[in-house]
Structure 1
Amino acid sequence: MASPNLSIAVSLPSADQVNKAAPAAADKDAALRKSAAEFESVFIAEMLSHAGFDKALSENSGFGGEAFSRMLVESYAEEITNNGGFGLADQIYQQLKGRSS
């Protein structure tokens, strides 16, 4: 019994395609890290606000203190995140990276 001659076409990416895909993957990775850090920053700001930190900052601060206390809380939250935060951003990043692979 003669077996049929089957040919399989394999399409390998060219060097140009590989070089173009590498920055796209790096951009995606950077976007995932940024999104995770932004989420942690918002989460920390909400925690600080619910703990009354914004009210404590605006106490005896005069007119406009309440308006700027929220922005100050958000700034503190960003600094906490930029200095390592709670590790939440890393966990979120790992989860998002696992889903995108």
Structure 2
Amino acid sequence: MPDPMMTVPRGIAGVPRARDHDALQKASVALEATFLAEMLKHAGMGEAQDSFGGGIGEAQFASFLQQEQATALAEASGIGLAESLFHALVKGDRP
């Protein structure tokens, strides 16, 4: 899967064109989802329980669950990181 941040087209002087805002929004949400997935991992979300856990299979697929939970959080307004990133990217290099 290509890196969403690397596929954002740029206009004159590196400032995104207005029609590129959808791509910037998607990239911002994807970056927030990646950040949230790491935070969920470090918080212990999805780790196997000691008793009545899912065994080795649960441990193998925990990262997929964390990523999907993080994506759902980011798409539902998340923690505001995507919005901040989007506005910073739209502003670009302009003073």
TM-score range, shorter chain: 0.7 to 0.9
Which ranges in structure 2 are unaligned for 5 or more consecutive residues?
A: 1-16
2:18 to 20, 25, 36: 25
Of structures 1 and 2, the larger Rg is shown by: 1
Percent identical pairs in the alignment equals 31
Which ranges in structure 1 are unaligned for 5 or more consecutive residues?
A: 1-23
**Aligned-partner Cα distance in 1 for 2:93–2:73:** 27
2:7 alignment partner in structure 1: none
Higher RCO by CA contacts (8 Å cutoff, separation 6 or greater): 2
Structure 1 consecutive aligned stretches of length 4 or more whose deviation exceeds 6 Å:
none
Letter of the 2:39 partner, please give it: M
* TM-score, L = length of structure 1: 0.68
| Superposition deviation, residue 100 in structure 1 | 5.8
1:50 to 37, 42, 47: 42
2:9 alignment partner in structure 1: none
